[in-house]
Amino acid sequence: MQLILDKNLTGLDGKDLPNANMGQILASSLANSSGGDSIKYLDWALKLYNGKPIQLDDSDYIKLYKEVENNKQLTRLVNAQILQEMERQKHNKT
């Protein structure tokens, strides 16, 4: 599947948060974490940060999903929206 996270996070009021691009936030987190497949995670980070899609097979999707879900650097507001967007795109096959 192709995953595109080039969109803003929204606040509790439903309005876009300034300077809160989903892809850029996740990219920074991936680039600053350790462990896992460093080369793959950095490749994803570079693409996400620049608004480009990343290609994920089923095992990559699960890895990235778990990485976001278990990420202690990101708040629930961020984690939940990224996970929801991942699920939406997976089910819509976009």
Distance from C-alpha of 41 to C-alpha of 37, rounded to nearest angstrom: 6
User: Alpha-carbon Rg of the chain, whole angstroms?
Assistant: 12
In terms of pTM, does the model score above 0.85? yes
pLDDT tens digits for range 32-76? 988 888 999 999 999 999 999 999 999 999 999 999 999 999 999
Q: Six-digit token pair at 63?
A: 């890895």
pLDDT score at 93: 59
